[in-house]
Amino acid sequence: MQFLTFIYVILSIFVVVFGSPQLLGANKCTRGPGYWCLSRENALSCNTLQYCETRVWSRQG
């Protein structure tokens, strides 16, 4: 039982120091070009407009 208490205390300290963990993919901008270049709005919000214009949208015809 002492071991579980120790683990609980360590994890609690970790959360306080580093913040609560984010779920993978919670930040949509980490999803890559498939998300960024889906729309102009996405590209603007992820600061990838130039990338989408030159590398994706210009090749779509």
| pLDDT tens-digit readout, 11-33 | 777 777 777 667 777 899 999 99
Instruction: Confirm whether 17 is domain-assigned.
Output: no
Q: Whole-prediction pTM value?
A: 0.60
Domain count, the chain: 1
Instruction: Confirm whether 53 is domain-assigned.
Output: yes
Residues 36, 29: contact at Cβ < 8 Å?
yes
- Tokens representing 5 are 């208490």
Residue 18's pLDDT is: 72
Provide the residue range defining the domain that includes 61: 24-61
Instruction: Confirm whether 42 is domain-assigned.
Output: yes
CA atoms within 13 A on the CB side of 2: 0
Instruction: Confirm whether 13 is domain-assigned.
Output: no
